[in-house]
Amino acid sequence: MATALGAASTAVPGDRRAAAAAAFRSFTGLKSSGSVPLARQLNALSLSSGSSSSAPSSASVVRAVSTPIKPETAAEPKRSKVEIIKEQSNYIRYPLNEELLTDAPNINESAIQIIKFHGSYQQYNRDERGGRSYSFMLRTKNPFGNVPNQLYLVMDDLADQFGIGTLRLTTRQTFQLHGVLKKDLKTVMSTIIMNMGSTLGACGDLNRNVLAPAAPYARKDYKFAQETAENIAALLTPQSGFYFDMWVNGEKITSDEPAEVVKARNDNSHGTNFPDSPEPIYGTQFLPRKFKIAVTVPTDNSVDIFTNDVGVVVISNEEGEPQGFNLYVGGGMGRTHRVETTFARLSEPLGYVPKEDILYAIKAIVVTQRENGRRDDRKYSRMKYLVSSWGIEKFRSVVEQYYGRKFEPIRELPEWEFKSYLGWQKQGDGGWFCGLHVDNGRIGGNMKKALREIIEQYNLNVRLTPNQNLILCDIRNAWKRPITKALAQGGFLEPKYVDSLNITAMACPALPLCPLAITEAERGIPDLLKRARAVFDKVGLKYNESLVIRVTGCPNGCARPYMAELGLVGDGPNSYQVRLTLSQCLISPENYQNKLILTFNLCGKTDLARRDTKSDINSKNFYE
Ligand code: HEM
Ligand code: SF4
């Protein structure tokens, strides 16, 4: 199938995209352990003062404050700069609409905040010296990582024609397209929209992509989890039309929403909505900060369920028929170095809801955060700080007022498992799927070409996993052999030939394009994994022994390093905090001591290996 793009433009002045791509390729890795200590600190945090945001001047615009609970206060509360920018943006339009029309290669500070809601970050190549060469990173939204055939092919084309020639699969089951120039933004965005894709709300202070298990199992609970992820995503999609105004001249291109979603969104029985607002749930101010939801089924923790603001777990009866959901609240990864009052946190149980109520319960949680989350200092604006400061009892009772019912007690769950879905597996409906390991989610070169050919030739649908991997779906028996061959030719190894360290490892994109990166992650991790394997060999551990290693270039934690057995969190040039976690879904305790010794070896801290630190660093007291 051919995918036509609106405009075919590849000639870029000064070819900045090529420079960015080259920077990625030319990176020669982290310095060896001999010259620079990889680990500067071992679970050690020190204090420093954080920045605080200035108080706004009061503006004569509609304020989004309506709640059945909070009393009116006379004093104008202190608000961060981003709150003022949102308020004055005419529902996420201004000044982006003006900034997009200028000849400058970049946009101003306010527009940078606004374009996030449209699913994009402004970036520049930090490897280049001298003037900044600006480009934009676009992130799609794909509930449960679902990518229809046509959308995959379009993204593949766009990466070549307008990006740096690679596609990046993210830890939130989405694509990131790096290196898009400002002048091409409208073409790229409109092409995605016309092909039933979206970047709306992939970044910004609103509900982000909703995770759910990517595997296309023909099982009632899996299908129900995926359908629920789609419905929650639809419920919390912005309604005021700013996205379509900006990129497709106001044409509203969406698929029909289920009636239950529309009904739940418009319901205002418990004072959740702004009745006359174009954004009935978000109002002018949207949420205080990003908001992340994951749905899953018991035992399948492919989504890192407890790291989300809200975790939703399908509960089925003995016949396998879904009945309702357990809800967990208050997870989140990001923290700020040297500010001890910021923390990564796992979510805790809120309660059980029958399946008909899920959208109302989610809305009640979102509204509780909307009304009570901190808007003065963005370091503390995630819902985890609200849950932590109120305590779960108070949080639950406020949510119940917006929900209009009491939560039932949480249902007991079996142990969690980490599922990667790699290799060939039966879907359960006569078809097969094939899970492919993609190092750090970066698809480029021969791999990209081979994948495209296979997906195009067999008209396959694709799923993206929260481990930055990819699943080819709906494969007939007769296609297995030729597809296996084509994959091998494209450089995809069968899972049994991939080093087990690589299978579970993740790194965020970090340098050269992420503006927040303090040090390397994606470009540094191959060296790091080689070193880990060398230590394994030295102490006589087998090839299939593994350790979950995750690396990020800053403490925002985009690759969820705080959930890894060994998490490396950049805190300076070539320097990382080392975070150790005993996470029940990622590690089997019997191997724990061995791994601990290995980890310390890896970090050059062999003297600590003899100490029994197990109880010091298990996830419970680590996160609290
Ligand atoms: C709190 C936890 C956070 C999570 C779970 C998260 C989630 C993500 C995810 C899934 C990605 C794609 C990365 C990958 O696949 O490796 C990403 C990238 C990114 N995140 Fe975050 N994020 C977090 C915090 C932040 C914060 C606080 C900021 C900014 C203030 C931020 C800015 C970015 C940027 C700029 C990128 C793009 C990097 C690039 O592709 O060049 N993130 N984030
Ligand atoms: S963890 Fe930090 S460096 Fe890595 S992508 Fe996220 S914001 Fe950028």
List pLDDT tens digits, range 287-336: 999 999 999 999 999 999 999 999 999 999 999 999 999 999 999 988 88
Strand-pair category, 348-354 with 442-443:
unpaired
Q: What's the DSSP call for residue 260? A: H
For the record, the structure tokens of 396 come out as 């639950």
CA distance 591 to 594: 6
Are residue 221 and residue 232 in the same domain, yes or no? yes
Are residue 567 and residue 468 in the same domain, yes or no? no
Q: Which atom of ligand 2 is nearest to the CA of 557?
A: 1
- Number of structural domains (the chain) is 3
Q: Which atom of ligand 1 is nearest to the CA of 307?
A: 5
Are residue 586 and residue 550 in the same domain, yes or no? yes
- Give the end of a domain, one of 478, 498, 518: 498
By mean pLDDT, which of 207-216, 244-253, 391-400, 527-536 is the weakest? 527-536
Q: Looking at the CA of 126, which ligand is closest?
A: 1
Residue 85 domain-assigned (yes or no) = yes
Are residue 352 and residue 456 in the same domain, yes or no? no
Residue 417 domain-assigned (yes or no) = no
Which of 24, 176, 554, 569 to mutate for ligand 2's pocket (most ligand atoms within 8 Å of CB)? 554
Residue 344 domain-assigned (yes or no) = yes
- Give the end of a domain, one of 339, 371, 403: 403
Share of the chain above pLDDT 70, in %: 81
Q: Phi first, then psi: what are they for 41, rounded to 5°?
A: -135, 145
The pLDDT value recorded for residue 36 is 28
- Are the beta carbons of 152 and 142 closer than 8 angstroms? no
Cross-strand pairs, 176: 139, 168
Atom 17 of ligand 1 has which residue's CA nearest to it?
Answer: 558
170 lines ligand 2 (CB under 6 A): no
334 lines ligand 1 (CB under 6 A): yes
In which domain, by residue range, is 558 found? 501-623
247 lines ligand 1 (CB under 6 A): no
Q: Which atom of ligand 2 is nearest to the CA of 554?
A: 2
Are residue 134 and residue 169 in the same domain, yes or no? yes
Are residue 506 and residue 485 in the same domain, yes or no? no
**CA–centroid distance, residue 554 to ligand 2 (Å):** 5
Q: What is the 3-state secondary structure (H, E, C) of 397-463?
A: HHHHHHHCCCCECCCCCCCCECCCCCEEEECCCCCEEEEECCHHHEECHHHHHHHHHHHHHCCCCEE
Catalytic residues: 139, 208, 290, 292, 508, 514, 554, 558
Q: Looking at the CA of 507, which ligand is closest?
A: 1
Atom 2 of ligand 2 has which residue's CA nearest to it?
Answer: 554
Are residue 344 and residue 365 in the same domain, yes or no? yes
CA distance 443 to 160: 12
509 lines ligand 2 (CB under 6 A): yes
Are residue 197 and residue 123 in the same domain, yes or no? yes
* Prediction ipTM score: 0.81
Are residue 304 and residue 451 in the same domain, yes or no? no
**With bands split at pLDDT 50, 70 and 90, how would you rate the model's confidence at 477?**
very high
Q: Looking at the CA of 569, which ligand is closest?
A: 2
Residue 29 domain-assigned (yes or no) = no
CATH number of the domain that residue 393 is part of: 3.30.413.10
Instruction: Give me the residue label for tokens 């709300």.
Output: 201
Atom 26 of ligand 1 has which residue's CA nearest to it?
Answer: 556
Residue 109: exposure state from Cβ atoms within 10 A (0-12, 13-18, ≥19): exposed
Are residue 468 and residue 538 in the same domain, yes or no? no
Nearest to 201 by CA among 227, 238, 165, 167: 238
pLDDT per residue as tens digits for the range 91-121: 999 999 999 999 999 999 999 999 999 999 9
Residue 302 domain-assigned (yes or no) = yes
pLDDT per residue as tens digits for the range 555-600: 988 888 888 888 898 988 888 888 876 544 443 334 444 455 455 4
Mean pLDDT of 344-359: 96
**With bands split at pLDDT 50, 70 and 90, how would you rate the model's confidence at 553?**
very high
Are residue 134 and residue 269 in the same domain, yes or no? yes
The pLDDT value recorded for residue 71 is 56
3-class SS of residue 221: helix
pLDDT per residue as tens digits for the range 177-234: 999 999 999 999 999 999 999 999 999 999 999 999 999 999 999 999 999 999 999 9
Are residue 505 and residue 481 in the same domain, yes or no? no
**With bands split at pLDDT 50, 70 and 90, how would you rate the model's confidence at 74?**
low
Which amino acid, one-letter code, is at 299? T
Neighbours of 149 (CB within 10 A): 17
**CA–centroid distance, residue 509 to ligand 2 (Å):** 7
Order across the sheet with 348-354: list the strands.
293-296, 310-316, 322-329, 348-354
